[in-house]
Amino acid sequence: MNIGIPKEIRPFEYRVGLSPIGVKLLAEAGHSCLVERGAGLGSGFSDEQYRQAGALVVYSGEEAYGRADVVLKVARPTDQELEWIPPDRILMGYLYLAAAHPRKYTALLEKRITAIAYEQIQRPDGSLPCLKALSQIGGRMAAQLAARLLQNDFGGHGKLLGGVPGVPPSEVVVIGGGVAGENAARAFLGMGAHVTVLDKELSRLQQLADVLQGRVVTLLSHPFNIQRACSFADVVVGAVYVPGEKTPIVVTRQVLRRMRPGSLFVDLSIDSGGCAETSRPTSHDDPTYVEERVVHVCVPNLPGVVARTATHAFLDAALPYIERVVTTDIDAAIADDPCLAHGVVTHRGEMVHGKPLDDSEKRA
C-alpha cells in the first residue's frame, strides 16, 4: 500500500504524520511511504533520515496526496489539501470535523473518503488513546502560557503563579477533569498556584482528589459553581471535550463579566469549537485578545510548537491503528476493531460518526 506523509501547511503546525521509525516499520512490512520534502523538519527529522528508513521523498504536497492510498496527517486538511486527495482513499489525522465548516464533510462524502479521526478512537472504558498524549501536552502547556501571560507586559494583571512568602499564590480554576484538565492542574500545582478543578462526574473528582493527594479543591461542574469559582480566579482553563461533537458552552459572558479585569482564560477546548461564549481561534504568533476585560488564549494547535515531543507522543498511541489500517482491508479493519470504528467519521460516501456545525461559527 502507498502511504502519503505530506508536510503540514497550517500556520505554526510543525508536527508530522509519521516519524522515520514509523516509516521503517511500515517499509519493512512491504509498504511504500511517500514523504513530502521537508515534512519532518519541524519535528527534527531530516529528509535523509526518512530515506534511510526506506521512504521515497517527493517534492510536492500534491504528489504526496495524489499517489497515496492512505494519507497520514496531523491537522485537519485545508480545502486545497482536500482537492489533492483522490477519491476512495483513506485519511487519518486529528480532524475535529465537528468544529469545521460543513464543506469539509461535503468534500469527504463526495470523494467517498474514509476519514479516521485519531481524537475519536475510543477504548471500551471510554478512554481516548490517541488524544491522551496531546491532551497531556496541552494541559501542561497551559501553565507555561499562563505564567507568561499574567505578566503586565503581556496584558495580564501582574501576578506570579506561585506567589512568594507573604503574598498568596494565584487562583487557578480548571473546568473539566479529564486528561487535559488533570495535567493542567498538575502543572499549575507544580508552579505553586492554588488550584480548583470542576467536573460533572463526582467519581472523577474523587479520583483527582486521590491522585493529586488532596492538594486541589474539587467542585461539581454546574453553572452556579462555575460562576462562583471563576469570580475569584486569576486563571481559568477550559478543558471540556465530548468525542465527535462540538464542545458545549460552559463559560458564558455573564461568568466572564464577574472575573477580575486582566485575568486569563485559556481555552484548551478550542479545537472542538471552544467552551466559552466568547472563544474564537487565535494563533501562536498572536495568541490573545481581550473580551469582557478578560485576556483570552484560544490557540487550536497548541502542541504544534513542541513538535518533536508531540509527534513521538501521538505516534506511540496511533501506530497500532495505522498498522491495522494499512495491513488489513479497511472494511475488515473497521468491523474487527471497535476502538478504530469509533474514529471513523466518513466511509464510502456515508456519515458514520460526526455532526456538522449547525450554527454560524464555522471554521476552516
- In tens, the pLDDT along 154-183 reads 888 899 999 999 999 999 999 999 999 999
**Cα separation of 319 and 155, whole Å?**
41
Helix H segments across the chain?
Answer: 20-28, 47-53, 61-66, 79-84, 102-110, 129-149, 179-190, 202-211, 223-231, 253-257, 307-327, 330-336, 338-342
Whether 359 is covered by a domain: the verdict is no
At residue 82, what are phi and psi to the nearest 5 degrees?
-65, -35
Whether 208 is covered by a domain: the verdict is yes
Same domain? For 297 and 313 the reply is: no
Q: Side chain identity at 152, as an amino acid letter?
A: N
Q: Locate 70 and state its grid cell.
A: 492512505
Same domain? For 284 and 318 the reply is: no
pLDDT tens digits, residue range 203-215? 999 999 999 999 9
Q: Is 197's pLDDT higher than 90? A: yes
Same domain? For 149 and 85 the reply is: no
Total number of domains in the chain: 2
**Cα separation of 329 and 335, whole Å?**
10
**Cα separation of 259 and 256, whole Å?**
5
- Look at strands 235-238 and 264-267 and give their pairing: parallel
Whether 357 is covered by a domain: the verdict is no
Domain that holds residue 113: 2-121+307-351
Same domain? For 180 and 218 the reply is: yes
pLDDT tens digits, residue range 33-67? 999 999 999 999 999 999 999 999 999 999 999 99
pTM check: above 0.85: yes
Same domain? For 153 and 281 the reply is: yes
Asked if 208 and 197 touch (Cβ cutoff 8 Å), the reply is yes
